[in-house]
Amino acid sequence: MRGRRRFRTTAAAVALLCGAVLPGCSADGPGDAAGPAATAPKPKPSPKPTPLWDPSPGSVAAVGDSITRAFDACAVLADCPEVSWATGTDAGVNSLALRLLGPKGVAGRSWNLARTGARMAELPEQMAAAAAERPELVTVMMGANDACRARPELMTPVGEFRASFTTALARLRAGAPKAQVYVSSLPDLKRLWATGRVSPMGRQVWGLGVCGSMLADPEDLGPAAEERRNRVRDRVVAYNRVLQEVCAKDVRCRYDGGAVFGFRFEDGQLSPWDWFHPSRDGQARLAEIAYRRISAA
């Protein structure tokens, strides 16, 4: 009887100890139904991956040619960067930088590194200069001058165009590996000819040598002139394909999907001095196209 009372007392003490201090055990000892599987911590949910594209970058560098410098938009034969689609400060244009950074941000956090007359071979140098500023976004509109030569035979070969653009992105990545890149397609030069050729002023200015490969003899509708213009247009299409393909290999690069090439510039959206470069209104339309593409999720 004394042994039985001693056993019951010991068992009760073990049960009390397990319940109060060691919730994983029982009076019967380890290995019962309330083992490790019942007390294992629940796994934490995996964190969502950070998206590679930021639709609201905090700084903008622009590279390119006369379009990004807003050539002939304010005065004849002059750059007017304040109305540039990319980094301009003019409220009427409402540039990409104004939309993303606001008026105060444009002054200190945007850079227009484009040069009127530049061709794709110059883009690696411009990209290196952009990388030095450590921008969060770089805009690229380059290549129209590679097609706009005195004669179609002088247009930049597609292979050289591709090599220069590929090198340009590599130069950017060497100095600014996380910078986002927006690549604009080139405008349809033949459509610009069709719009501007109705203007006597435009035809007169074009006669001075503006984009001779496309705009020479603007009133000539014969088969030879049409074949020449189609050669230039085909080259622009090939350049745009290169821009799309090379950009697609970079996870932080967005091509505009051919939006600028497909845009129909109307009379008021072309410069009143050369009927070829975008006017203030044309620059505003380019800003809209870029902002829609960049701010998309």
pLDDT digits (tens, 9 = 90+) for 223-263: 999 999 999 999 999 999 999 999 999 999 999 999 999 99
Model-wide pTM > 0.85: no
Residue 212 and residue 229: Cα distance in Å, rounded? Answer: 10
Q: What is the pLDDT of residue 297?
A: 80
To the question of domain 60-295 being in CATH 3.40.190.10, the answer is: no
**114-142 pLDDT, tens digit each:** 999 999 999 999 999 999 999 999 999 99
What 3-state class would DSSP assign to 49?
A: coil
Pick from 236, 194, 201: nearest CA to 218: 194
| Of 293, 132, 131, 167, the residue nearest 242 (C-alpha) | 167
User: Do the strands 60-64 and 110-112 form a parallel or antiparallel pair, or are they unpaired?
Assistant: parallel
**What is residue 141's three-state secondary structure?**
strand
Residues of the chain with CATH 3.40.50.1110: 60-295
